Structure 1
Amino acid sequence: MLQAIGLTSTPRRNRPPAVDDLTFEARPGQVTALLGPAGAGKTTTLRLMLGLERGRGVTYFRGRPLHRVAHPPREIGVLLGDVPGHPARTVRGQLRMVCAVAGVPTSRADDLIDAVGLEGLADQRLGALSRGMDRRLGIAAALLGDPHALVLDEPAAGLPPQEAAWLHGVLRTHAARGGTVLYTTADTKEAARTADHVVAIRAGRLVADQDAAAFARTRLRPRVAVRTPHAARLAAQLTREARAARRSVEAVAERGGLLYVYGSDCAEVGETAFRHGILLHRLTEETGPAPEPASTPESRTCGPEAAAHAAPVRPVPRAARRRGGRRRRGPLRPLRYELRRLTGVPSTALALGGTVAGSAVLAVLLGRLAATPPPVAVAAWPELLPLPPAALGAGLVGALSFGDEYRYPVLPTALGAAPRRLGLLLAKLAVTGVTALLLAVVVAVVDLEALRLVYGGALIPVPADWPSLCAGWLALVVGCGWAGLLAAGVFRATAAGIVAVLAVPVVVAPTVEGALLGPAVRAVAGLPARLRELAWPRWPHEADRWLDGALGVVAQPVGVALGLSLTALLCAFLFTGLRRDARW
């Protein structure tokens, strides 16, 4: 059972709250429709229930608030709007990634692909799906954790009748198994036809809370729908004739030349239009919601009005106030999630492949110059570039790691899984670090082989300080990958991560170089010998060479600048991401 008590959104810019003290419940074994026109606060209500928006009130999911549910995807499935995800990701890849968020086996994705009728589109890109197939994918994602409750925001909007009937059949099946279903809609007839219980709201306040039969009996009335370019004129004529005949007729004009006439039929409306020469584009009888008791300037009423009253609402005591955004969780399997996120889109392969190819071409061009040192040629790092291609590529991969989380947000809609959790951060750092290491090794090997192929092996000698050069190379590429990742996580944009990587050699390194080479700087020469004296006789002789190499790497202005940048970005990430009231 879902119990929403006292939901109130935070007002903005001196406007009334979109949802004001709303209380209702959705029972298990039933399909509950949250009905209201556009702007009534339906979506805001769902976001308040799920803790995705700040506000007051509390929502209980089978007696527990959401932040006390151990595994939210196994308690409630959500579909808010279109399916979030990278448009280049496949249907199977998207569902398998969400499986890692929910902590369920990967085989569950394949089972649901067959269950929702997407077996022929498993390798289709998300950006190429039709609206009906997108809705089927959204239902599959909501059902991945086998939840007790389903919460959907206008799932049938824009669907053809056949797809809408299939979707409501799935909701009905879930409710028949003892589950709870809550969906929003603006179509009154859809709510009365497909739901067991209807909760109607307007301007964020409760209007009706009753079963579908009572709702249809008290709030739906036969009416004539007329579309004409002279709606106001026809409404005036219908009102005048009804008043003369002492009949109760109400004409309500809507936008687009649409007129709803209550208390009449097609024959009377058509004859009135014919007598007064009024052109009609549409004339049909239907069943629709009763007009609001308070008449607008566009509506005219004659005769006594048969007002429809909602069933009485059982009073519910106010709940304790709460703020949204509390206790956000990351994916239950963050490492698997990050691996699927990285390998599930072609942009990663394009970035890595382009980096290797560009670095090889640049290395060959640099090798033509006799004055180019061999390490510079192998790294493909000319003076004109602030960083070598491998470091820029690693920074781009790191920036996309967090940038895609905010551009194509999958986690915020996955019930409490937030992109800025410590476990997910560690998984991203690990995956990005390993990817950067592999990229650095592959680039170095490919560049070296390209130089040997073009110019011969004699022109590429092995330098004596190759261990320190290799350590510095690996540290530079991995550090740039981490810098791009942390900056994109702090500023929530891929471009910010790339800018942060470029700022290290352009802005931070010159400042550090001035500090390191200043007249008041003391040298650390002889540090290995002094450490040997303290640790003798257990100090290994090989450690002197490795320590000298490490000191040489750290003493480089770019290395110090990169270390300082990583420290500052990590502190900013932890401060903005782990504080209590951080909004994701």
Structure 2
Amino acid sequence: MLQAIGLTSTHRRDRPLAVEDLSFQAGPGRVTALLGARGSGKTTALRLMLELEQGRGITYFRGLPLHRIASPAGEVGILLGDVPGHPARTVRNQLRMLCAASGVPGSRADELLEMVGLGGLAGHRVGALSLGMDRRLGLAAALLADPHALLLDEPVAGLAPSDTGWLFGLLRSHAAQGGTVLYTTSDSKAAARYADHVVTIDSGRLVADQDAAEFARTRLRPRVAVRTPHTARLAGLLTREARASQRSVEVVAESGSRLSVYGSSCAEVGDTAFRHGIPIHQLADEIGDMGPTGLPDDHRPESVTRLTRAPLRTEVSESVPAPPAALVPAGRASEDGSDMPPPIVRRPDHGPVRPLRYELHRLFGVRMPILTAGAVLFLSAVLAALLGRSGQTPMPQLLAAWPRILPLPPAALGAGLLGSLAFGDEYRYPALAARHGVVPRRFGLLAAKLAVSAGIAIFLAVTAAVADLATLHLLYGGDVSGPPQDWRHLLVSWAGLTVGCAWAGLLGAGVFRSTTAGLAAVLAVPVVMVPLLQAAIAGPAARSIVGLPTRLRELAWVEWPHQADRWMIAFLRLATQPVAAALALSLSVLLCAYLLTGVRGRARW
């Protein structure tokens, strides 16, 4: 059971309320259509129900509001617009990534692909799908966690009749198993044909709440659609002939040289046009929509709308059963003493239930990481070969393939690019969000991204060093010595540089919501931060930190082994390097900015 009570959108200056005091219910085992013309507030009503917009009112899903449901994905499946996903990701990888986000087994993806008829397209890219196939993928994503209720916004808009029939067949099957289905539409004939229950709204207010049979009887009736260049003349003739024969015929002029004739037939209209020599470009029987009040839209007086709207809304409000008293939050009393509906606080989007598995599927579901790694290794080997030819480049710079003209070596730049994509792609293709443009700032998701990007950075660093060494031995043979004696220290500093660049790109993209901004944060370390630090410490030093490990040993309560002194000295030696210090400072600033923006976003929610 789905119950929406008192939904009211936030008032905006110089604009009427998109939704005002809207109450209705959608029962289990039934398909409910929320019907209204474009701009009537259907989408806003759905977003208020899902707590995606601020306003007033409350919606109960089987007796609980959405913010009190532990696993919303298992209660409500959502399809708002197109499926957000990377166009280069395959259909199967898209669903497996969403399975990890919802906490369901990956095998569920293949089951749903067969259910929605996409089993043969599992290896196709999301960006290559047609509109009908994309809508099937969206329905599969909504059904991943086997939810009880389905909320869909215009699911059949633009679909072919065959896809429309299939989609409603699947919705009917979900309702037959006891589920609740609510979808929005502007097509009254489709609502009467496919829905069990029709809720009609106009200008954000409830107009009618009817079963499908009653809706079809009171709102739909046959008509003759006529298209002719002489609409005014034909309308006058039809009206005069109907009056002469005392028949009830209504002629409504519409746009595009078109007439809608109620109470007549194609034969009668055609005979009248033939007798008077009027050309006919179209003549067909249709089912006409009489508008929310039972009158044609062009002939619906405003006074009728005002008179019929309030009684219908009152009648429906009384039919909605009240939720349990313990679940109703206390509302504020209005000036006339009545209780106002409680405020709707915009709900933050949930992060993935299994963030590490989600991040691995997100990263390796496209070809970008493989292409980036291949380009990094090739460029690094070429630069190492060019630097080794002169014989004057030190071995550390030779293995890193880091010429002085580049701000960073290829492996560090590649790690920074992949780190920037980790959050940049989330904002470009927000697969986790019910609404576009929002990425959950959960610490679990951040930790998973940091861990995966660090692993990829270390892999790039080690592989690039090995590839450079192999290239140098292949080209120059014995003229190139092996790894230097302090290779362990160099390996740690090399891995730290690549991991730091990956994290800088990741945090920069997370703060500024852009892959380009993440890359700019990576390049700002050697281009901006290093010169600033060098200028700050360029003056002579009066004191030195030599002997710091010994002084720390004297202050410590626990005696640590003397071997730890060597590691501490190595760490201090590494930390005092300009690039390492600049990278550590940049990471600290970016992490603080990320946390502050996350806290500010939660306060706003």
TM-score w.r.t. the length of structure 2 is: 0.88
Distance verdict in 2 for CA 1:280–1:510, change over 3 Å: farther
Partner secondary structure for residue 77 of structure 2? strand
Is this contact kept in 1: 2:349–2:433, CA < 8 A?
no
**Distance of 1:385 and 1:78 partners within structure 2:** 48
Question: Counterpart in 1 of 2:190?
Answer: 190
Is this contact kept in 2: 1:467–1:546, CA < 8 A?
no
Partner secondary structure for residue 95 of structure 1? helix
Question: What is the 5 A alignment of 1:392-411?
Answer: 392-411=413-432
Whichever residue aligns with residue 371 of structure 2, its letter is: L
**Distance of 1:258 and 1:276 partners within structure 2:** 18
Is this contact kept in 2: 1:48–1:324, CA < 8 A?
no
**1:40-82 CA distances to partner (integer Å, 9 max, x unpaired)?**
2222221221122233222111111111111111111111222
Q: Does 1:544 align with 2:544?
A: no
What value does the CA root-mean-square deviation take over the aligned residues?
Answer: 3.1
Partner secondary structure for residue 476 of structure 1? helix
Q: Does 1:314 align with 2:287?
A: no
Partner secondary structure for residue 578 of structure 1? helix
* Structure 1, 132-141 or 408-417: larger mean CA deviation: 408-417
Partner secondary structure for residue 433 of structure 2? helix
Instruction: Identify the match of residue 410 of structure 2 among 389, 402, 426.
Output: 389
Distance verdict in 2 for CA 1:537–1:284, change over 3 Å: closer
How far did 1:249 drift?
Answer: 4.2
Q: Does 1:498 align with 2:519?
A: yes
**1:330-352 CA distances to partner (integer Å, 9 max, x unpaired)?**
11111111111111111121122
* Structure 1, 250-259 or 554-563: larger mean CA deviation: 250-259
**Distance of 1:237 and 1:394 partners within structure 2:** 78
Distance verdict in 2 for CA 1:496–1:119, change over 3 Å: same
Question: Counterpart in 2 of 1:75?
Answer: 75
Question: Counterpart in 2 of 1:426?
Answer: 447
Is this contact kept in 2: 1:228–1:257, CA < 8 A?
yes
Whichever residue aligns with residue 196 of structure 1, its letter is: D
How far did 1:151 drift?
Answer: 1.0
Is this contact kept in 2: 1:250–1:300, CA < 8 A?
no
Is this contact kept in 2: 1:228–1:280, CA < 8 A?
yes
Distance verdict in 2 for CA 1:34–1:452, change over 3 Å: same
Distance verdict in 2 for CA 1:280–1:10, change over 3 Å: farther
Is this contact kept in 2: 1:228–1:258, CA < 8 A?
yes
**Distance of 2:540 and 2:225 partners within structure 1:** 88
Distance verdict in 2 for CA 1:299–1:532, change over 3 Å: closer
**Distance of 2:491 and 2:507 partners within structure 1:** 24
Is this contact kept in 2: 1:50–1:415, CA < 8 A?
no
**Distance of 1:291 and 1:235 partners within structure 2:** 21
Instruction: Identify the match of residue 507 of structure 2 among 486, 489, 503.
Output: 486
Q: Percent identity?
A: 63
How far did 1:517 drift?
Answer: 2.5
Instruction: Identify the match of residue 337 of structure 1 among 347, 358, 381.
Output: 358
Question: Counterpart in 2 of 1:42?
Answer: 42
Distance verdict in 2 for CA 1:536–1:192, change over 3 Å: closer
Question: Counterpart in 1 of 2:484?
Answer: 463
**Distance of 1:388 and 1:306 partners within structure 2:** 70
* Structure 1, 170-179 or 547-556: larger mean CA deviation: 547-556
Is this contact kept in 1: 2:219–2:292, CA < 8 A?
no
Question: Counterpart in 1 of 2:374?
Answer: 353
TM-score w.r.t. the length of structure 1 is: 0.91
**Distance of 1:536 and 1:465 partners within structure 2:** 32
Question: Counterpart in 1 of 2:53?
Answer: 53
Question: What is the 5 A alignment of 1:70-109?
Answer: 70-109=70-109
**Distance of 1:257 and 1:347 partners within structure 2:** 54
How far did 1:466 drift?
Answer: 3.0
**Distance of 1:385 and 1:416 partners within structure 2:** 35
How far did 1:228 drift?
Answer: 4.1
Which structure 2 segments of 5+ residues have no match?
323-338
Is this contact kept in 2: 1:471–1:550, CA < 8 A?
no
Whichever residue aligns with residue 25 of structure 1, its letter is: Q
Q: Does 1:531 align with 2:534?
A: no
Question: Counterpart in 2 of 1:153?
Answer: 153
* Structure 1, 514-523 or 64-73: larger mean CA deviation: 514-523
Question: Counterpart in 2 of 1:563?
Answer: 584
**Distance of 2:392 and 2:437 partners within structure 1:** 57
Question: Counterpart in 1 of 2:120?
Answer: 120
Is this contact kept in 2: 1:33–1:183, CA < 8 A?
yes
**Distance of 2:66 and 2:121 partners within structure 1:** 34
Distance verdict in 2 for CA 1:537–1:197, change over 3 Å: closer
Whichever residue aligns with residue 31 of structure 1, its letter is: V
Distance verdict in 2 for CA 1:152–1:27, change over 3 Å: same
Instruction: Identify the match of residue 517 of structure 1 among 534, 538, 563.
Output: 538
Partner secondary structure for residue 317 of structure 2? coil
* Structure 1, 249-258 or 140-149: larger mean CA deviation: 249-258
Question: Counterpart in 2 of 1:323?
Answer: 344
How far did 1:394 drift?
Answer: 0.9
Q: What is the count of residue pairs matched by the alignment?
A: 581
**Distance of 1:383 and 1:518 partners within structure 2:** 24
How far did 1:398 drift?
Answer: 1.0
How far did 1:437 drift?
Answer: 1.2
Question: Counterpart in 2 of 1:572?
Answer: 593
How far did 1:580 drift?
Answer: 5.9
Distance verdict in 2 for CA 1:230–1:492, change over 3 Å: farther
Is this contact kept in 2: 1:198–1:209, CA < 8 A?
yes
Distance verdict in 2 for CA 1:323–1:459, change over 3 Å: same
How far did 1:14 drift?
Answer: 2.6
Distance verdict in 2 for CA 1:307–1:557, change over 3 Å: closer
Partner secondary structure for residue 467 of structure 2? helix
* Structure 1, 280-289 or 473-482: larger mean CA deviation: 280-289
**1:253-276 CA distances to partner (integer Å, 9 max, x unpaired)?**
444444433333323433454466
Partner secondary structure for residue 501 of structure 2? helix
Whichever residue aligns with residue 563 of structure 1, its letter is: A
How far did 1:26 drift?
Answer: 0.6
Distance verdict in 2 for CA 1:498–1:253, change over 3 Å: farther
* Structure 1, 230-239 or 516-525: larger mean CA deviation: 230-239
**1:186-221 CA distances to partner (integer Å, 9 max, x unpaired)?**
111110011110011122221211111111111112
Question: Counterpart in 2 of 1:170?
Answer: 170
Distance verdict in 2 for CA 1:504–1:87, change over 3 Å: same
Is this contact kept in 2: 1:219–1:309, CA < 8 A?
no
Whichever residue aligns with residue 159 of structure 1, its letter is: L
**Distance of 1:195 and 1:157 partners within structure 2:** 16
**1:551-571 CA distances to partner (integer Å, 9 max, x unpaired)?**
122112221221122111111
Partner secondary structure for residue 216 of structure 1? helix
Question: Counterpart in 1 of 2:328?
Answer: none
Whichever residue aligns with residue 182 of structure 1, its letter is: L
Distance verdict in 2 for CA 1:515–1:385, change over 3 Å: same
**Distance of 2:223 and 2:542 partners within structure 1:** 88
**1:397-432 CA distances to partner (integer Å, 9 max, x unpaired)?**
111111111111111129999531111111111111
Question: What is the 5 A alignment of 1:431-446?
Answer: 431-446=452-467
**Distance of 1:407 and 1:417 partners within structure 2:** 10
Is this contact kept in 1: 2:80–2:435, CA < 8 A?
no
How far did 1:118 drift?
Answer: 1.9
Distance verdict in 2 for CA 1:537–1:40, change over 3 Å: closer
How far did 1:136 drift?
Answer: 2.0
Question: Counterpart in 1 of 2:331?
Answer: none
